[in-house]
Amino acid sequence: MRIIHQDAKRGIIELLPETLDDLWHLSHLIEPGDLISSKTTRRMQDTSGERLRSDRGIKKTFFMGIRVENINFHKYTGKLRAKGIIEKGPEDLVSFGSHHTIDLKLSNSVRIEKERWSRWHQKRIKEAIDASKIPRALVVVIEDDVADMGILRQYGVEYYGPIIGGVTGKRVVQKNRQQVINKFYDEIASTINNFEGIEGIIIAGPGFGKNDFHHFISEKYPYLAKISRLENTGAGGRTGIYEVLQKGILEEMATEGRIAHEIRMMARVLEEIGKTSNKVVYGKKETKIAAEAGAIENLLIIDELLRERDVEKIMDMTENLGGSVMVLSSEHDGGKQLSALGGLAALLRYALN
């Protein structure tokens, strides 16, 4: 993410999203009521009356501004769409007051105008800019002849696979077995090479498959082996990927570890709840009481609640009284667990009566 232009007096910030993570950040920065402007493309038809049936019109690209009514981020397609009423644009090309959807795209700046930029908005922009400097991590979990992968993004884990090797089938003759294994490992390495910007790889699993694969890439793909490390897990598949995140290995590799940290913090909350501890609260009402008492040490909040003013007050109160605030993505398992608790939870310095 990059800041292209900023006008504090008019409440305008123009941002340039450079990664899929940046689009996710924008989906939480842009709110209903904001005025956003970005490039959009429309197919304009000939209105002279002489248009041929086969004439599909001419595509024209121009800047358009809409007053946002809703915004949707589709992580699987990488699309961020804002829908609202047109307020800005060329008079001969747009119909002011009508509805339009703008597709916000990578490397295409968007100008956001708000009545009020909160410090939480500013903090999210800073996080997005800082995160662009952090290398991304890939977790590869191998169990027997099955490999699963997960790229750690800021909003959660993006899963790929499974890749099936077909090594254990009855049709695999012993003399051809190594050829089948090599083909399986080649497919895993080829998939890894398709990802851009990976600077850290954790090869994990419950058996010896991970060791064999690491040995294979050490000989054939040494550049991958150079940025890899091995880790034992008790299970394969997505369970194994989740286990890697819980161990905090990603922070040790100096890669993106925010999600892993969030998952561990949520595990602490669930552990305290499981012990029927009185040093944990959850839900908006109970968390607000704890914040007002200055008892919160760690506040966890789901990103979907950031637009609510009463929640923002709880966040401000917590930080002003020395507590820390962590915003969890609703896209990963830790965030889903927090959502089930009402979207707010807090670990306390001391027990409340």
Mean pLDDT of 313-332: 90
DSSP letter at 166 equals -
Closest C-alpha among 16, 12, 22 to residue 4:
16
Residue 342 one-letter amino acid:
G
| Backbone torsions φ then ψ of 285, nearest 5 degrees | -65, -50
**End residue of a domain, out of 64, 99, 131:** 131
d(CA 83, CA 97) in angstroms, rounded, equals: 12
Q: Where are the beta strands (DSSP E) in 165-317?
A: 198-205, 228-232, 280-282, 296-302
pLDDT on residue 257: 62
How much of the chain exceeds pLDDT 70, in percent? Answer: 90
Do 67 and 118 belong to one domain? yes
Do 221 and 280 belong to one domain? no
Instruction: Please determine, for residue 146, whether its predicted confidence score (pLDDT) is greater than 80.
Output: yes
- The SS3 call for residue 171 is coil
Mean pLDDT of 246-252: 71
**Domain encompassing residue 11:** 2-44+53-131
**Cβ-count burial of 263 within 10 angstroms (0-12 exposed, 13-18 middle, 19+ buried)?**
buried
Q: Which two tokens stand for residue 345?
A: 């939870």
Q: Is residue 353 part of a domain?
A: no
Do 170 and 144 belong to one domain? yes
Tell me if the pTM is above 0.85: no
**End residue of a domain, out of 131, 161, 183:** 131
Listed range (40-44, 222-226, 254-258) with the worst mean pLDDT: 254-258
pLDDT band at 117 (very low <50, low <70, confident <90, very high): very high
Instruction: Please determine, for residue 29, whether its predicted confidence score (pLDDT) is greater than 50.
Output: yes
Mean pLDDT of 72-87: 86
pLDDT on residue 255: 46
**Cβ-count burial of 171 within 10 angstroms (0-12 exposed, 13-18 middle, 19+ buried)?**
exposed
pLDDT on residue 277: 76
Do 185 and 267 belong to one domain? no
pLDDT on residue 134: 66
Instruction: Please determine, for residue 84, whether its predicted confidence score (pLDDT) is greater than 90.
Output: yes
pLDDT on residue 39: 85
Do 14 and 34 belong to one domain? yes
Do 252 and 297 belong to one domain? no
Mean pLDDT of 180-194: 93
Do 157 and 249 belong to one domain? yes
d(CA 151, CA 259) in angstroms, rounded, equals: 11
pLDDT on residue 247: 83
Instruction: Please determine, for residue 254, whether its predicted confidence score (pLDDT) is greater than 50.
Output: no
Do 171 and 186 belong to one domain? yes
Indicate which CATH number applies to the domain containing 6. 2.30.30.870
Reported as a single tens digit per residue, the pLDDT across 197-245 is: 788 899 999 999 999 999 999 999 999 999 999 999 999 999 999 999 8
Q: Domain count for the chain, please give it.
A: 3
**End residue of a domain, out of 131, 158, 181:** 131
Do 279 and 201 belong to one domain? no
Other beta carbons within 10 angstroms of residue 11's beta carbon come to: 15
